[in-house]
Amino acid sequence: MLRITVTESTSEQRWILQGRLTGSTIEELITSWRANPRCQPSRSCVVDLNEITSIDKDGEQVLLMMLRDGAKFVATGLYTKHLLESLSVQDAPGGDSF
């Protein structure tokens, strides 16, 4: 199960994700992400991953898509931080792809 909460202010749109970011739960996230105006120059887009319990390869692909769309991530878990660092390297020019 994945719970998605989106809050907005004049300076920020915050996506709070809770639960599992896996193949069976990501369709709603992808649909919501593509449907919402986000990551505008005047407003930052923050994705909070502090309450994510697991991420599979499909979930990694969604995070990479969000990163490429300009999202900034908040994470405190060691695995999640490491994963985000790896995705940032892959997103850099000349970085590896999945």
Per-residue DSSP letters for 19-60? EEESTTTHHHHHHHHHHS----TTSEEEEEEEEEEEE-HHHH
Report CA 72 to chain centroid distance, whole Å: 8
* Mean pLDDT confidence for 43-65: 93
Looking at the domain 2-91, which fold is it? Transcription Regulator spoIIAA (3.30.750)
CA distance 97 to 39: 23
Q: What pTM does this model have?
A: 0.84
The string of pLDDT tens digits covering residues 34-49 is 888 656 667 889 999 9
Q: Which of 3-12, 34-43, 50-59, 64-73 has the lowest mean pLDDT?
A: 34-43
3-state secondary structure at position 76: coil
Q: Is the pLDDT of residue 98 over 50?
A: no
Average pLDDT, the chain: 87
Domain parsing of the chain, residue ranges: 2-91
